[in-house]
Every structure is written in C-alpha cells, then in structure tokens.
Amino acid sequence: MFNNKTVLITGGTGSFGKGFSKFLLNNFNLKKLIILSRDECKQFHMEKEINDDRVRFFLGDVRDLERLERAFSGVDIVIHAAALKQVPTLEYNPFEAVKTNILGSQNVINAAIDQKVKKVILISTDKAAQPINLYGSTKLCAEKLFINGNSYSGEEDGTKFSCVRYGNVIGSRGSIIETIIKNSNIDKIHITDEEMTRFWITIEQAFKLVLFTLENMVGGEIVIPKAPSMKLVDLFSALVPNAQKEIIGIRPGEKLHEVLLTSDESRHSIELDNYFLIFPEFENIFNQNKYINSYLKKLPDGFNFTSDTNSKWLTKENLIEIVNNIKL
C-alpha cells in the first residue's frame, strides 16, 4: 500500500507523527514522506534524528489553505494528526482550538480534494464521543467534517476520508505516564478521583489501527480499537507505589470515565475481532448495504464502549512491562 507512494503527515513532529514516520520508513519503500508542522525547532531535531533522504520537511500551519494546497501536490496519502489538545489551555483560548481543529481540518479536506489525494485519515480522540470540553467538541466537529467530506470528493475514485478514534497513548508526549517516567522519584501525586478510568493503548497499537484503516477504508468509517481500560489510581500504584496520594477532585472539563463508542453510534456500527467500525447513517455518504456483508457482527441495542464497563482491563504487570520498553 505504501510502496512507491508519497505520504504526508500534518503535525508530523508530534508524538504520533514522529513515531509513525519512523515506522513507515523502516517498514515500507516510500517514494517520499512529507512532515508538515509549524515548529521549526522540532523539525530541525527530527531531521537530525531520522536522517533519511526520502523525508521532506514543510513549515506550515493547517490554518493556511494555500500552504496545504502546495504541500499536498503529488501526495497519495495524508494522515491528519495536527491539533491543539491541551484541555485547560483550550478552555482559556477557545477560538484558537476552533481555528486549528475545525477550520484547519476543513482546509485539509479542501486541499486533499483539490490535489486529488487518494486517502486521508483523521486522528481523533475518545473525548470526541459525548464531549464535555472544547477540545472534545472541536474534534467531534472535525470527525463530522471528515465523514461528510466524502460527499464532496466526487467520483468513485475520488478522495476518501475516514477517521480513527482512540484513548490515551502510553508514554506519549505530555502524558501523565511520560511525566512519571521522567520524574520517577516523585514523592507526591494528585489524584482527581479514585474511581476514574481511562482507555490506554501503546503507540504501536495506534500505528496498527491507522494501517488497518488505510488498508480497508472505503470512505466514511470511524475505526475504534478494542482498547483496555485502567483506573488511574492503579496506574499510579504500579508506577510510583511509594508516592503519597492526594485526592483533589475532578478538574473542569474532565470526565470520570471516557467513551469511545456511544449507544447512539452503536446502532450503525459493526464489531470486528479487534475493532469497532462506525458507519455514517446517510446513504449519500456511505451505503452500508453495498459494503457490509451479512456475516459481519452488528452490535446489540443500547451497546456502548466506555472505560468503566469495559470487559478488557490493563493490569499493573502489563503496564510496567509496556513502560519498561518505552524509549523517550
């Protein structure tokens, strides 16, 4: 799928983009890999670290449609990972989130269609499902824009848009696990609520999710991994067992438990071995009957996939093993 193809990653100097770039370069015979981001310092360090003549670095912002039009010329596949993500910061700077996460996503769609990119994937988040903060709300809007972008891409062989939606990535930049790893001698931690749960996946599982989606997408799907859950209090007990724990209460814009698949979405979803697939309800975007065979498993009425009712849980031993293999 990637051999002799040109791939572009927006936000390519972030945790996902940087890791996925190395994965692609190590496993596929790419024609070219384009990293588009707005931070010249991160691009400088990434270029020194990767040092591969197939890689090109484009300074640019997804808010700038003209720059995207230039960057997308000749590109086969786009992975849209650029986003503003810090919940408290975005609550204080709300329209900045709108400009990057919503308007920037629409710019990606427009540029991809105009430049005849074949496949485009949005990297989304569990916070987009039943959002309660601005970040989640902007990512929900980005998902809707991407799915409906299939209505505007024209012919059968036009640009295809799909999304992947997942929870926390173990060890990603700025995550609580990265903070703990870099401060292993921490003697006090703050816990918002002892019952709080989250979904967790490894960065390698995120790569596999994107690969699965690119290989199987017909346009219009949201693909969700069957990720395990873990209580945050158990996470802290595993990584910093001797630290003093202080309960501080849930912060503004924070959920007690996260949702990856809502009961309303499950009415037009199917279950695979390792993933859930959400399909659009509108047949002008995606005709389910055309693509869904009878052997695929429909979800029961009222089903939802939440971090507290999950049947799959990450143990302390699993977490420690994963963390010990992380290279920051």
pLDDT at residue 284, as a whole number: 63
Name the band, by pLDDT with cuts 50, 70 and 90, for residue 36: very high
**Residue 39: what are its φ and ψ, rounded to 5°?**
-105, 105
How confident is the model over 225-262, as pLDDT tens digits? 999 999 999 999 998 888 888 899 988 888 999 999 99
Mean pLDDT of 48-74: 96
Higher pLDDT, 308 or 328: 308
Task: Tell me the two tokens of residue 257.
Answer: 């438990």
**Closest to 134 measured CA to CA, from 164, 167, 98, 106:** 98
pLDDT at residue 21, as a whole number: 96
pLDDT at residue 153, as a whole number: 83
pLDDT at residue 283, as a whole number: 67
Mean pLDDT of 163-184: 83
pLDDT at residue 189, as a whole number: 87
Neighbour count for residue 265 (Cβ, 10 Å): 23
CA of 156: how far to CAs of 6, 44, 65, 120, 279, in Å? 21, 40, 25, 15, 18
Contacts made by residues 18-24, CB under 8 angstroms, sequence distance 24+:
18/46, 19/203, 19/207, 20/79, 20/81, 20/206, 20/207, 20/210, 21/46, 21/50, 21/55, 22/50, 23/207
Q: Which residue has the tokens 């003697």?
A: 187
Question: pTM of this prediction?
Answer: 0.93
Active-site hit among 18, 119, 127, 139? 127
pLDDT at residue 293, as a whole number: 58
pLDDT at residue 50, as a whole number: 93
Mean pLDDT of 81-99: 95
Beta strands 168-169 and 197-201 are parallel
pLDDT at residue 253, as a whole number: 85
pLDDT at residue 175, as a whole number: 76
pLDDT at residue 57, as a whole number: 97
CA of 60: how far to CAs of 21, 69, 82, 238, 313, in Å? 18, 11, 11, 41, 40
CA distance 181 to 93: 29
CA distance 247 to 190: 6
Phi-psi group of 130: left, alpha or beta (phi > 0 → left; psi -120 to 50 → alpha; rest → beta): left
Confirm whether 127 is a catalytic residue: yes
Mean pLDDT of 11-38: 96
Name the band, by pLDDT with cuts 50, 70 and 90, for residue 328: low
294 pLDDT higher than 60: no
CA R_g for the chain: 20
Go through the domains of the chain in sequence order and give each one's CATH number.
6-168+201-227+259-305 (3.40.50.720)
- Average confidence score pLDDT of the chain: 91
CA distance 136 to 129: 7
Angle value at C-alpha 138, between 145 and 195, nearest 5 degrees: 125
CA distance 309 to 304: 9
